[in-house]
Amino acid sequence: MRFRITALAALVALLPATTWALPDEAPFASVDTLRPAAIESSWTRMKMPDGGRTAFASISYLMALDDDWGFGPGVYGAAKGNYGGIFTVGFTGQRRWRLNSNTHLAASLYVGAGGGLSTQQLRFGGGLMLRPELSLRTEVGAWYTGVGLSQIRFPSGNVKSGVGLSFTLGRAMSFASFSPDDAGRRGRASQRTGLQFDEVSLMGGYESPRSVSIDRNGERRTRRVGKAGAELRQYIVDGSWWGIEAAGGAQGGADGYMEVLGQIGQDWALGSPRLRVGGQVGVGLAGGGNLDTGSGLLLRAGPTLRWITPWGPSLRLDAGLTHAPQGNYSARFVRAAISMPLDQTPVLYADDSGGTVRVQQLGASVMHLPRVRFKDGRREAVSHLAINMSREFTLSLYGTAQAGSAAAGHAGAYSFGLIGLGVQSAPLWSGMRVGAEWLVGAAGGGGVQVGGGAVTQAELWAQWRVGERLRLRTGLGEFRTMRGHNQSTPVIHVGLNYAFGTLQR
């Protein structure tokens, strides 16, 4: 099986791009659905099987399905002790009961996949993680705090906590969206739509470790580390932003390294409003790839240069210093990014010309890889659990991203992140579509053979409409390393996505 980028070009040639656009005189579309949503973070302490103590920090996005139930993606990572690099990615389902005007009770179940730092005393098995929680929350305006009881366990390994206290901090938000059937129409909204981010960026660059850096084997770390990742950013005011970024090791023998950071920044016009210079700082969790980040805490700061092109996308160059204050890793970095605009803050009391409705999808995927090559030479089947997100740029072209980890097999602690482009047909019979996509990114861990960590995946797929917003997708493709031919396996993909319309202003 050899899927190539030519498959995408061939499908583009078949798309009837000019025959299914809506007429210019169609009236403006308006927001179809407004649901409550929330961003939650939690802190859960636990004792590990090797006797050490750690704590898992998390961040999750939850969208209400009705007045009582919510569902959404999240990530957990080790943030205490010497366990930096333990990560899982998955989904949380939550049921809430209103007790009074400012108090509610919540029962949650997180199902994710991942791991890290496996040893004879510390085994994550296939990588599946479960975390049930019962918590009592108090609300103050849009914010709420909670205390509860929870447990973390990897059922196929030996990592398991007792039932203990957990702490929650959350912020209530709203989720406004258009109907997916409005795709391609002009639309207007008085607030940000969808996930409320203004742009998405694809990043790549290098880090050069400083002389103080050593790996977890106690040896000096001097080899340059290549990284690839993505960022979601929201602009508070012109030139001031906050965002979430995730990246992984893609070169330099650091496969399995992963980092997730929150960041804030500010830039100012440099002669032209399109050319801007400023700075940014970030804090988050990182580890893996034999890099000694200690507890996992990672700090980053440095200058940034941004050019907003006349065509919409932005080009960015960042530099600075990355430092793990509780580990033995410090490095200078430089990276480049290309950013695609999504939504933006509506301008009040102005003549709002609106924007174009584009379909975005957020969902969960199970991927089965039947012939994964491990570093010890064996080949075994591995199944992944992943979060996936896609966004249309036109009616036939879309961007897509996946992040996930091994959940079944013998590759616990293996994780990946991919980003790429796809093409899709017009709706066929009963709303069915077919398409193709090509992604690149970083992967590693769990003993899987991935070379330096740079990987690629191509896929042909079919998607069926289940009601107005649910989409069931199946696909067949190939996963392989980008350098050499030491890893190549078919991919069987099944996913369930929630589709919604957002504005491209």
Tell me what pLDDT residue 26 has.
Answer: 55
**Measured CA angle at 289 (ends 1, 375), to 5 deg:** 45
The per-residue pLDDT for range 349-360, each reduced to its tens digit, is 445 567 889 999
Which residues are CB-neighbours of 442 under 8 A, at least 6 positions away? Answer: 227, 228, 229, 247, 248, 249, 250, 255, 416, 417, 453, 454, 455
Tell me what pLDDT residue 311 has.
Answer: 84
Tell me what pLDDT residue 169 has.
Answer: 97
Tokens representing residue 65 in the block: 């399905």
d(CA 111, CA 335): 33
Task: Read off the pLDDT of each residue in 38-45 and give the average, rounded to a whole number.
Answer: 95
Q: Which residue has the higher pLDDT, 343 or 420?
A: 420
Tell me what pLDDT residue 9 has.
Answer: 42
- Give one word for 320, left, alpha or beta, with left for phi > 0 and alpha for psi -120 to 50: left
Task: Read off the pLDDT of each residue in 475-486 and give the average, rounded to a whole number.
Answer: 86
Q: Say if strands 379-392 and 355-373 run parallel, antiparallel, or are unpaired.
A: antiparallel
Tell me what pLDDT residue 353 has.
Answer: 66
What is the secondary structure of 142-166 as a DSSP string?
TEEEEEEEE--B-TTSS-BPPSEEE
Domain extent listing, the chain? 6-25+356-504, 34-176, 199-341
Determine what percent of the chain is predicted with pLDDT higher than 90: 69
Determine what percent of the chain is predicted with pLDDT higher than 70: 93
Contact 356, 30 (CB under 8 A): no
- The secondary structure of 450-473, three-state, reads CCCCEEEEEEEEEEEEECCCEEEE
The topology under which CATH files domain 6-25+356-504 is Porin (2.40.160)
Tell me what pLDDT residue 351 has.
Answer: 52
Tell me what pLDDT residue 189 has.
Answer: 87
User: Quick one: pLDDT band at residue 116, thresholds 50, 70, 90?
Assistant: confident
Task: Read off the pLDDT of each residue in 102-122 and give the average, rounded to a whole number.
Answer: 90
The whole model's pTM is what?
A: 0.88
Assign 3-state DSSP to the chain and report helix, strand, coil percentages, each to 5. Answer: 5, 65, 35
Looking at the predicted structure, is the pLDDT value of residue 28 above 80? yes
Task: Read off the pLDDT of each residue in 296-320 and give the average, rounded to a whole number.
Answer: 95
d(CA 448, CA 378): 10
d(CA 503, CA 505): 6
Looking at the predicted structure, is the pLDDT value of residue 312 above 60? yes
The per-residue pLDDT for range 124-175, each reduced to its tens digit, is 989 999 999 999 999 999 999 999 999 999 999 999 998 999 999 999 999 9
User: Quick one: pLDDT band at residue 347, thresholds 50, 70, 90?
Assistant: low
Contact 226, 203 (CB under 8 A): no
Looking at the predicted structure, is the pLDDT value of residue 317 above 70? yes
Q: Assign 72 to helix, strand or coil.
A: strand
The per-residue pLDDT for range 253-290, each reduced to its tens digit, is 888 899 999 999 999 999 899 999 999 999 999 998 88
Are 6-25+356-504 and 199-341 the same fold in CATH? Answer: yes
DSSP state, residue 7: H
The per-residue pLDDT for range 435-466, each reduced to its tens digit, is 999 999 999 888 898 888 889 999 999 999 99
Looking at the predicted structure, is the pLDDT value of residue 1 above 50? no
List the beta strands (DSSP E) in 48-127. 53-64, 69-78, 87-100, 103-115
The topology under which CATH files domain 199-341 is Porin (2.40.160)
Looking at the predicted structure, is the pLDDT value of residue 190 above 50? yes
Looking at the predicted structure, is the pLDDT value of residue 21 above 90? no
d(CA 177, CA 174): 10
Tell me what pLDDT residue 374 has.
Answer: 92
Which residues are CB-neighbours of 67 under 8 A, at least 6 positions away? Answer: none
Mean pLDDT across the chain: 89
Tell me what pLDDT residue 5 has.
Answer: 38
Looking at the predicted structure, is the pLDDT value of residue 45 above 90? yes
User: Quick one: pLDDT band at residue 345, thresholds 50, 70, 90?
Assistant: low
Looking at the predicted structure, is the pLDDT value of residue 17 above 80? no
Looking at the predicted structure, is the pLDDT value of residue 205 above 50? yes
Tell me what pLDDT residue 274 has.
Answer: 93
Which residues are CB-neighbours of 13 under 8 A, at least 6 positions away? Answer: none
First to last CA, the chain: 40
Tell me what pLDDT residue 446 has.
Answer: 87
Long-range contacts of 383-387 (CB under 8 A, 24+ apart): 383/126, 383/407, 383/408, 383/409, 384/113, 384/416, 385/89, 385/90, 385/111, 385/112, 385/113, 385/128, 386/89, 386/416, 387/73, 387/89, 387/90, 387/91, 387/362, 387/363
Q: Which residue has the higher pLDDT, 475 or 30?
A: 475
Least confident of 10-19, 150-159, 194-203, 385-394: 10-19
- Give one word for 444, left, alpha or beta, with left for phi > 0 and alpha for psi -120 to 50: left
Tell me what pLDDT residue 484 has.
Answer: 66
| CATH of region 34-176 | 2.40.160.20
d(CA 156, CA 150): 19
